[in-house]
Structure 1
Amino acid sequence: MRFLLPLLLALPCAANATEITFAVTHQPPYMIEETKSGIFVDLITEIFSAAGQTAKPVFLPNRRAFASFEEKKVDGVLYYFGDKAKESCRTENYANYQPTLVALKKNNYSLKTLDGLQGQRVGAFLGAKDYFVPDYPEYPGAVAKARDYREEADITRISKLLLNDRIDIGILDWRLFLWTAKAESQGNLYAVRDIERHPYFATAWVGAQFWNTAHCEAFNKGLAILKSNGRYDAINQKYSDDVLGGM
């Protein structure tokens, strides 16, 4: 019996292996609540799996996702820009957003600088002004010269307004625009093929944030494995194909 005791004591630990929770918010194609999938979700779960650990997404509204991380109700969050988690660690960059200017081709805008926003009807994602100021200090002054400037929490609304010629320029992530335009393709005056992309902004790379440094180390290890075995590129390609399919 004494020889079995160490084995018996070890069994509960194996059965209750720690599950790493990370907060996300519904934002296709990056995070899709219905299927618990998406570019960011698939990458994070497979990265930890490659490192021999299990990770579980916890879908929450945007502000609650960050608050839950700050209050340590979850182990991590897909990215973090706040100042209330100074003892946490940040992983290596694993994914990116593609903020861009989009407009109807028929308007033939020259948007090489933000001066092109002057006199136009502009729609941007909620929080755009605060987001861009650190890297683009000219942003507030530029949008102040727009004929109309609005920020919307619902990216679908910006897409609909743009495809129905009710705003002139949209400021949003390119993949989010393609996804929402595809999902809401009926009844619009224009289609994605009528849209021109003006990539003024730099690609925005993100790293995940965790409280436990061991989680960050495991993440970085798993990320290197996914990049070396081809899964990293395959996941990104899968959602690129999904977004562009049928357009």
Structure 2
Amino acid sequence: MLSKNEQKKIRLLGEKKYRSKLGLFVAEGLKIVRELVEEGYIFESIFSSKPIGFAPYKLIDKASLKKVSYLTNPDSILAIFKIPKALNDIETDKFSLALDSLSDPGNLGTIIRLSDWFGIKNIYCSHNTVDCYNPKVVQSSMGSIARVNCQYLDLATFLSKCNSTIYGANLNGLSHYDCSYDQKGILVLGNESHGISSHVNDQIDQFITIMSKADESSAESLNVASACAIMLGEIFRPQSLFKS
């Protein structure tokens, strides 16, 4: 059974201010918890309704887990991890992503997972982008949060100092099929409703558009995570990987 203090702490960690204050975050699900442990994340507590063999844990019943879970259908395990010390490594010699004012946790988690799939190690986020240790972000990243570094910074200032080519996802840009990407480039994705903010827009070297089949489509736009997947699939297509 979970103590009242344990229950309270888990609930508080749903809010960013308490995650920042305590330096902790919640992860759920066997795959995610195991990957975080294997990647060297330090855990404070692991609670499980089933035996596990990869780390010490406290056995609790399913009813107790359901009370504190952030999932509609809780898995058998929930853990509290320490937020690792922020890495301030700015790597501009490899292709990276930049996120401007993303607000949906599911989108950020999916983009982190996509970055892991395509070997992108750094995502540069504006300060008002959703926290990467939000429980929904951690969950939708499916463990990829352990291998992708999200840095929060003044995005416009950061981009203004980069020597990389800055690409921006936009509805009125060059077709992404016709773009020859720089291997040191940075792709900027904007807010789900408002796109890239004006002060970040000023730093874009090339706007990129995913072309629709206009005569058969009435959709106004794509979900930002879907757009990210399509663009990265083209950027990392082996036969056309980067200009020299």
- Higher alpha-carbon Rg: 1
Aligning the two structures, in what range does the TM-score lie when normalised by the shorter sequence? under 0.3
TM-score with structure 1 setting the length: 0.26
Greater relative CO (CA pairs within 8 A, separation 6+)? 1
TM-score with structure 2 setting the length: 0.26
